[in-house]
Amino acid sequence: MAIPIITDWKSYFLNENEGLGSSYERIVINNYLTRICREYKLNRILEAPLFGFTGLSGVNSMNLARQGMEVVLLDNNSERLVLIEKKWQECKMPVELKYSENFTFLPFADKEFDLSWNFSALWFVEDLQAFLAEIDRITSKAVLIMVPNRTGIGFVLQQLLSGDKYRKYVRPEWIKARTFSKIMKDLGWKLSEKSLIDSPPWPDIGMKKQLLAKKLSLGFLLDNHSEQQRNLTIMDYYRGSDKEFPEKMMRYNFLEKNLPALFKLFWAHHHYYLFLKGE
């Protein structure tokens, strides 16, 4: 529910520092995407919409391109697409960028993609039924939807603090599982996997995690050197200057691995739903 990221998304293209929270989140997403693409033999990938709440826009699929997969990104902001293209060029990663005004028509051929997916972006769609019908038309194997965990402490608190002002940016009803799952079922898709994801040792709140840990006297949960890192961005990993970035982020995954499912309901930051095309 990070409203400043919605209104201030351009700043991340000038200063890529996303902080520890978003950096950890990137690697968790990468690991999951890598696993399902290998398991289901997914090669041509569409991320649509590509704009979510997390820092620097348009890089959540970059690790797939790094592994040799064909990546296409779709957005409804032409200025953002230009800035995203520059970031991909800096990392020497191939990508195809497309524009769609409102996501009710997607400029692709039938069954063009093995996987269509999005992260914390579904609530930016104007017409959910029309969008998912288009996703159904252009996707042959799998659809992955990642949404904020609506029962998570961070989500609930940010919702209470922001009141109704965030509603001019998003449609919260679109991220309810029963809403998009019913549409997907009616379109002939079967829910294959669902789980909570992104459970680091900090709540999902809109402040630097180092500052939060200091305020709560929980600095021992974070790496001793993390506060001294002025810039923390996965882009250094993709440019080749920080090859150990994933390993450094995974130092914080002890809750991800060990937290019981019941507790994750209140702590995990996101929920994922993987749909496979029914026979």
Return the domain boundaries, the chain: 3-277
CATH superfamily of 3-277: Vaccinia Virus protein VP39 (3.40.50.150)
Give 70's strand partners.
Answer: 44
Max CA separation in the chain (angstroms)? 54
Question: Dihedral (C-alpha) 224, 237, 1, 156: value to the nearest 10 degrees?
Answer: -50
Residuewise pLDDT in 10s, the chain (279 residues): 456 678 889 999 999 999 899 999 999 999 999 999 999 999 999 999 999 877 899 999 999 999 999 999 999 999 999 999 999 999 999 999 999 999 999 999 999 999 999 999 999 999 999 999 999 999 999 999 999 999 999 888 887 777 677 777 889 999 999 999 999 999 999 999 999 999 999 887 755 555 544 544 545 555 554 444 558 999 999 999 999 999 999 999 999 999 999 999 999 999 999 999 975
CA–CA gap between residue 124 and residue 258 (Å, rounded): 33
CA–CA gap between residue 4 and residue 7 (Å, rounded): 5
Angle between helices 177-186 and 128-138 (to 10 degrees): 50
Q: In what order do the strands lie in the sheet with 96-99?
A: 96-99, 70-75, 44-47, 113-119, 139-148, 270-277, 189-197
The encoded tokens of residue 141 equal 């194997």
pTM score, whole prediction? 0.91
Which residue type sits at 161? L
